[in-house]
Amino acid sequence: MHINIKELEMFLESNPQMSLAPSNNEEYVVKGILSLDITDESYGNIKDEFLIKIVIPKIFPNEIPTVYEIGERFPKTLDYHAYPDSSLCLGSPMSLKKRIKDNPTLDGFIHSCVVPYFYAISLRLQGEENFVFGELYHGIDGIIQDYVEVFELKYIDQVINLLDILSQKPNRGNKKKCPCGCERIVTKCSFHKKILEYRNVMTRKEFSIDKDIISLYYDKWKENQMQKRMRKLIPYA
């Protein structure tokens, strides 16, 4: 399923403060005002506006749109979860794709991925110290953290085992030991339900890439820990 111009027109009709901007053959670009009017028991009524740009791949929802805040309301730094190119970090790729899969429309993306980010930003600009929905670490640490939290795991090697299962065809992955540590194969453990829930959120290739990146990261970490241990055992002269 790819986005078409009719769906884009419907999105613009339901979001009259947004308009189409010049783009290329691979994407659509939408610019305009994102208005917030949210009432919460803890924070009361939050009203705010942000000038944003959304770059929408034409193969959406298979790829995640990129969002920018172009009104200069806040610094584009890691503290505000912005990348060096000023695009915004709305969450980990896996979690964003899960939200999009649950509601694969542009309006669904706005409400489940974009609005929560700007709601947290608005509260922070008003003095709230932390992001109200929690924060992931930056970079690969955040990706690992998300897998650990979503799948309720404890260790990096469990994440690697999980990704090994998700990167294979079900008839092969399901015969491997469950990453939860129960020593049973995947299909014999209740953890299998969680794997089924996320198996099609990303492609097997995407899960495989994450596995390779995290495995390399883990190997370097173990090597570094070993070097630290050796320095304690064999002090420098």
Q: Where are the domains of the chain?
A: 5-125, 140-233
Burial 61-71 (b: 16+ CB within 10 A, else e): bebbbbbbbee
Taking a C-beta distance cutoff of 8 angstroms, is the pair 50, 34 a contact? yes
Strand 44-57 relative to strand 18-21, pairing:
unpaired
For the question of whether the overall pTM of this predicted structure is more than 0.75, the answer is yes
Q: What is the dihedral of CA 65, 91, 82, 209, to 10 degrees?
A: -80
Looking from the CA of 166 toward its CB, the CA atoms found within 13 Å total: 31
Query: Tell me, what's the pLDDT at 237?
Result: 46
204 Cβ contact list (under 8 Å, min separation 6): 166, 167, 168, 169
CA distance from start to end of the chain: 65
Q: What is the DSSP letter of 113?
A: I
Is the CATH number of domain 5-125 3.40.50?
no
| pLDDT by residue, tens only, the chain of 237 residues | 578 788 899 999 999 999 999 988 899 999 999 999 998 888 888 999 999 999 999 999 999 999 999 999 999 998 899 999 999 999 999 999 999 999 999 999 999 999 999 999 999 999 887 787 778 888 899 999 999 999 999 999 999 999 999 999 999 999 999 999 999 999 999 999 999 999 999 999 999 999 999 999 999 988 888 777 776 666 554
Closest CA to 67 of 99, 47, 89: 89
